Amino acid sequence: MKTLSIAIHGGAGTLIKGLMTQELEAEYRAALKVARDAGFEVLQDGGSAVDAVEKSVKLLENTPLFNAGKGSVFTANGTHEMDAAIMEGENLKAGAVSLITGIKNPVSLARDVMEKSYHVFLAGDGAMRFAKDQGYEIKSPDYFYDEVRYQQWQSIKDTEGFQLDHSVKKDGKFGTVGAVACDKNGNVAAATSTGGMTNKKWGRIGDSPIIGAGNYANNKTCAVSCTGSGEFFIRGVVAYDVSCLMEHKGMSLEAASNEAIHKRILEIKGDGGLIAVDSNGNIAMPFNTEGMYRAAKSSKGIDIISIYK
Ligand code: ASP
């Protein structure tokens, strides 16, 4: 049997340690542990990597602590527009949704796009029609309301500014979420889900739902979920870049992940991080920001829940 492993993230950011209260830190750690352990249990029960990453991401989407699902940031119009993607490394199947509203678990809708449509990427009204056809309940905006997110939006509303949750240097909540896993057959999968950037407009879409940019999985190499300033991760095609560095340059998961985050994305001044697993169950979680909410577990004894460097 292959090494079972899972890694999750709740966003990379410039959170300053002294500004985080002990209680809040404990809440984040607890939420990360619950999501990580639930995904790992799926693997231990013989489940697939794709089931494991969906499970973990759904739990992260259900907590208002992170910028995905419940707790998604506000757009310039005071709405929530969410993006998500999921990919299986065994057959390169992928599904993604963008600019969706009212869906409790965008990651599951992305999975339905992968499994129940002929397509890979559905956006906006069309994605919402697909959701309705699939019988999804449409939640009211109240479900997504979060006071901290609202205040973040108020501070830049009616300006040209927009911000990544994680560029807020106070104890604000931040965090796109993601998960990557390797199952007993050595199949890998990746899932990513986000509310994007506060005060975003013009139908802005980040890297998270873009296959190869913020999310990618390939059994030949690795599964990757990114977090950070999406524009840079799109331009750097970062998730696929990690896979390419392994496939074409023969780099290890660790070396390829570090090269992407500590060198290549920095060359275009991008900030953020990623989580990755390979089909041998190795895990890498580099970031070039002050922190990244992250957790990992493997059948070889890895057990990490961490926020800062
Ligand atoms: N990468 C996401 C985006 O740009 C944001 C994040 O990672 O928090 O939409």
Q: What is the pLDDT of residues 3-58, one digit of tens each?
A: 999 999 999 986 566 667 889 899 999 999 999 999 999 999 999 999 999 999 99
For residue 241, give the CATH number of its domain. Answer: 3.60.20.30
- Going by CA atoms, what residue is nearest to atom 7 of ligand 1? 227
Cβ–ligand 1 contact at 215 (below 6 Å): no
Q: Which residue has the higher pLDDT, 193 or 151?
A: 193
One-letter-per-residue 3-state SS of the chain: CCCCEEEEEEEEECCCHHHCCHHHHHHHHHHHHHHHHHHHHHHHCCCCHHHHHHHHHHHHHHCCCCCCCCCCCCCCCCCCCEEEEEEECCCCEEEEEEEECCCCCHHHHHHHHHHHCCCCEEEHHHHHHHHHHCCCCCCCHHHHCCHHHHHHHHHHCCCCCCECHHHCCCCCCCCCEEEEEECCCCCEEEEEEECCCECCCCCCCCCCCCECCCEEECCCCEEEEEEECHHHHHHCCHHHHHHHHHHHHCCCHHHHHHHHHHHHHHHCCCCEEEEEEECCCCEECCECCCEEEEEEEECCCCEEEEEEC
- Going by CA atoms, what residue is nearest to atom 8 of ligand 1? 176
Could you tell me the distance, in angstroms and rounded to a whole number, from the CA of residue 16 to the centre of ligand 1?
Answer: 19
Mean model confidence pLDDT for the chain: 92
Residues 6 or more apart whose Cβ sits within 8 Å of residue 141: 79, 80, 102
Q: Assess whether 176 carries a catalytic annotation.
A: yes
What is the pLDDT, as a whole number, of residue 149? 83
What is the pLDDT, as a whole number, of residue 86? 99
**Residue range 277-285: mean pLDDT, rounded:** 98
What is the pLDDT, as a whole number, of residue 176? 94
Residue 172, pLDDT above cutoff 50? no
Could you tell me the distance, in angstroms and rounded to a whole number, from the CA of residue 246 to the centre of ligand 1?
Answer: 24
Give 156's pLDDT tier (boundaries 50, 70, 90).
confident
- Going by CA atoms, what residue is nearest to atom 1 of ligand 1? 230
How many Cβ atoms are within 10 Å of 295's Cβ, its own excluded?
A: 29
Q: Amino acid letter at 39?
A: G
The residue whose CB lies within 8 Å of the most ligand 1 atoms, and thus the one to mutate among 14, 165, 227, 288, is 227
**Residue range 227-248: mean pLDDT, rounded:** 97
Give 165's pLDDT tier (boundaries 50, 70, 90).
low
What is the pLDDT, as a whole number, of residue 174? 57
**Residue range 122-130: mean pLDDT, rounded:** 98
Residues 6 or more apart whose Cβ sits within 8 Å of residue 186: 2, 219, 279, 280, 281
Active-site residue, selected from the candidate residues 3, 101, 176, 221: 176
Residue 266, pLDDT above cutoff 50? yes
Residue 230, pLDDT above cutoff 90? yes
Q: Which atom of ligand 1 is nearest to the CA of 196?
A: 9
**Residue range 213-237: mean pLDDT, rounded:** 97
Q: 290: domain range? A: 5-308
Domains in the chain, number: 1
- Going by CA atoms, what residue is nearest to atom 4 of ligand 1? 230
What is the pLDDT, as a whole number, of residue 173? 40
Q: What is the pLDDT of residues 76-117, one digit of tens each?
A: 889 899 999 999 999 999 999 999 999 999 999 999 999 999
The residue whose CB lies within 8 Å of the most ligand 1 atoms, and thus the one to mutate among 194, 231, 233, 293, is 194
Give 162's pLDDT tier (boundaries 50, 70, 90).
low
